[in-house]
Amino acid sequence: MSEVAGSPPAAARVPDPAEVVVRIRGLGKAFRGHLGIGRTVAVDGLDLEVRRGEIFGLLGPNGAGKTTTLKMLLGLVRPDRGEVLLFGLPPSDPRARARLGYLPENPYFYDHLTAAEFLDFYARLRGIPADERRVRVPRALERVGLGDRAGTPLRKLSKGMTQRLGLAQAIGHDPELVILDEPMSGLDPVGRREVRDRILELREAGRTVFFSSHILQDAEMICDRVAILDRGRLRWEGALRDLVSRNVRWFEVEVVGALPPDVPCERVSREGERHLVQVADVGRLARLIDAVQRAGGQVVSVWPRRETLEDLFLRELGRPPGRAEGPR
């Protein structure tokens, strides 16, 4: 496991500059507090690269600096130091932004517009001429299942519908790079599945996806590479498989009845007669089962586990992901 971000160790793949879609070097940003008193460092010395065709996850607890990083990526915030390059251009250059699509977290939209007017507006901002818009806007509405809602004002649509509409706005013009801020927050499992499928579709089509999230399970399922931020600093960057082993790491066993004292295992929890314990390998597993049966207890279930990002978090950061940093 690499402690510090860096390029993957062996199998040296010479990074082809043409392939790097997003390059961040030494990025730093601090905000001054109210009335100029105090200073909060949001991002401190960030290096990262996103390559063409991959799904990249920017992960970390709330307040880690993910949103600020994303905003610097889009040119909404100017960094204090370091640089951001999209397709080799700074985000302030409209040509760079012409090649990306963006969906913010909890998007607020112009609720006075109808769904069709909404998509038409962003299509115009992308320089799509009128005749093309006439065709593409209805098609985009159809694709996200809002074909019959073209004339409905946004404030009358449900959250799920506006989310779909927002996604249509972000990817409707088929950008090379799609940037999503917490795309799955606030969605039910069906909605999250839909978003995941969309992102995978994008990769199939050769597009690059960059998203931020504090829900690690979602990231685990689809990311090629991740970067983990904590308190503005980069903790890990690399391919997911390098960070998290795919091998079975330990077993979780549920036992009912007495727990034999001499078997090396870690107790996870206990509820009356039911114990949940952890054993490190197959050998110890066998001994545990044997010992429990001999003691007259029952092994209810055996669950092989591999380390997840969440485990990694808990272990390294000492706290569950999603919980922001307490007072220093």
- The contact set with other proteins (CB under 8 A) reads 31, 68, 71, 74-78, 94-95, 97-100, 102-104, 107-110, 112-113, 117, 121-122, 124-128, 166, 169, 173-176, 179, 204-207
CB of 121 to other proteins, least distance (A): 5
CB of 305 to other proteins, least distance (A): 36
Q: Distance (Å, rounded) from C-alpha 294 to C-alpha 102?
A: 60
Q: Distance (Å, rounded) from C-alpha 103 to C-alpha 207?
A: 15
Residue 212 bridge partners (DSSP): 58, 181
Q: Distance (Å, rounded) from C-alpha 268 to C-alpha 217?
A: 21
- In the bound state with other proteins, the residue whose beta carbon lies nearer, of 41 and 98, is 98
* Residue in the structure block whose two tokens are 């307490």: 326
- In the bound state with other proteins, the residue whose beta carbon lies nearer, of 31 and 303, is 31
Cβ burial of 224 (10 Å; 0-12, 13-18, 19+) is: middle
CB of 116 to other proteins, least distance (A): 12
CB of 159 to other proteins, least distance (A): 15
297 CB-side CA count, 13 A:
22
- In the bound state with other proteins, the residue whose beta carbon lies nearer, of 207 and 231, is 207
- In the bound state with other proteins, the residue whose beta carbon lies nearer, of 102 and 236, is 102
Among 244, 243, 277, CA closest to 259: 277
Buried b (16+ CB within 10 A) or exposed e, 73-101: bbbebebeebebbbbeeebeeeebbeebb
Tokens of 293: 């049966």
CB of 130 to other proteins, least distance (A): 10
Cα distance between the two ends of the chain = 27
Could you please report the per-residue DSSP string of 205-222?
A: TT-EEEEEES-HHHHHHH
CB of 286 to other proteins, least distance (A): 48
Q: How does strand 100-103 pair with strand 81-86? A: unpaired
CB of 174 to other proteins, least distance (A): 4
CB of 12 to other proteins, least distance (A): 25
Contact yes or no for 164/191 (Cβ under 8 A): no
